[in-house]
Structure formats: structure tokens, C-alpha cells
Amino acid sequence: MTDDLTTRRKRILFQARHRGTKEADLLIGRFVEAHLDGFSVAELDALEAVMAEQDLDLVAWIIGGVTPPEASNTPMLARIIAHHRAA
């Protein structure tokens, strides 16, 4: 299980840093770099769900002050937004 979890974390980190837009790479990548090692399996699931959103939407929600739709407004997204507002 540990090897699977390590591989999963490495994959998530790579995906967070290589999203497709530089803004999303920086926003998601920095959050993941700061918190990934402490995430539980459930938190990794929640993070991957957020990362499945479109880059332009994520950037707008994180720095643009746009309120995400209810289905996307998860606790993990709130953590990402809070991380960047505190920085």
C-alpha cells in the first residue's frame, strides 16, 4: 500500500505542476507541494476531484473572486483558496 500511495502522490504532484496553463500550474502546484505529504487517502481523493475541474474555472475561483458552483465548492477547494489568500 505504501508504494501505491507514494506513486499516487508523485503522480498528483506532477499533474498539479503540469496543468496546462501557467497560472493553474503555479496555484495548484504550490498548494500541492505544501500539503501533499500530510494528506490522507480521502484528502487525496478530494484533491483529485478539484484537479479534475477546468484550469480557467480554478483560477477564477482561487484568485478571481468568482464563487464556484455549489457542486464544485468543496472543503478541499476552500483549503486551496485559503492557502493562496494567506500567502
Please write the tens of the pLDDT for every residue from 13-50: 999 999 999 999 999 999 999 999 999 999 999 999 99
Looking at the structure of the chain, the number of domains it has is 1
State residue 64's pLDDT score: 86
To which residue does cell 478571481 refer? 64
Is residue 2 pLDDT above 80, yes or no? no
**Residue range(s) defining the domain that contains residue 54:** 2-86
Under 8 Å between Cβ of 81 and 63: no
Nearest-CA neighbor of 23 among 70, 57, 55?
A: 55
CATH number at residue 49: 1.10.150.250
State residue 1's pLDDT score: 59
How far is the C-alpha of 17 from the C-alpha of 72, rounded, in Å? Answer: 21
For residue 55, CA distances in Å to 51, 69, 75 come to: 8, 15, 18
Under 8 Å between Cβ of 24 and 55: yes
State residue 87's pLDDT score: 75
